[in-house]
Amino acid sequence: MKKKILVLAAHPDDETLGCGATISKLSKQGHDIKLLTFTDGVSARDIKDNENRNKSLEKVSKILGIKDFKYGNFPDNQMDSIPLLDVCKFIEKEVKEVPDVIFTHHPGCLNIDHNIVYRAVITAFRPQQKKEIEINCFEVPSSTEWNPNSDFKNNLYIDVEGFVEKKIEALKIYDEEMRAYPHPRSYDAIISKMKSSGNEVGLNFAERFQTMRRINI
């Protein structure tokens, strides 16, 4: 059955780092993918590059098969300075229909913007009467695992064999955000991570998630 998939990522590149191969797989299977990003991901470093960042998002969307994407204009690495209600209102404005499946940040990420996006998502998509929904949190390299109190509990594995190349192709659009090996946000480390995640459950490659809420009717 065709599903509506919503990905909510604080910064352009988080969606690809966290679940790029899964997005590509779900798109290939015929599901509708919508992406919301909240900040430009660079202005906190005094880089004013919104136009190029948005163009990058367009390219990544084509590579991964994202049909619809929107980007917000919240302050980079300062989303804790914005009332949570405003973030929730942005989500509610851009998402007219409650999706079947959501992918977003884990609350234990080191990055403050990731935390705020998670809180807004879990608030905006409160349980509704007779509506099935699943909310899954992804890992972001050099953010989730760098918080010693992250408490990420991987309870969902998605087989992404055959889609690793798409994730890497998309990440190359964000090449300025990548680092040299053995940094966890290097190409080799990301491939190794998908291998090790897959090996945990007898697969060649996988992306891991923590399902935070699942309502079946």
Q: What is the pLDDT of residues 192-210, one digit of tens each?
A: 999 999 999 999 999 999 9
Beta strands per DSSP E along the chain? 4-9, 32-37, 68-71, 101-105, 133-138, 156-159, 206-215
Q: Write out the two tokens for 34.
A: 């919508």
Domain containing 27: what range?
Answer: 4-215
Which residues of the chain have a pLDDT value below 50? none
User: Please, are residues 67 and 26 in contact by the beta-carbon 8 Å criterion?
Assistant: no
The predicted structure's pLDDT at residue 130: 83
Which tokens hold the place of 120? 């807004």
Q: Which two tokens stand for residue 14?
A: 């988080």
Based on the structure, what is the number of domains in the chain?
A: 1
pLDDT score, position 53: 75
Distance CA 150, CA 201 (A): 22
Which pLDDT tens digit goes with each residue over 35-53? 999 997 666 555 556 667 7
CATH of the domain at 210: 3.40.50.10320
- DSSP letter at 83? -
Residue 195 DSSP code:
H
> If we measure between CA atoms, which residue out of 76, 86, 97 comes closest to residue 9?
76
pLDDT score at 32? 98
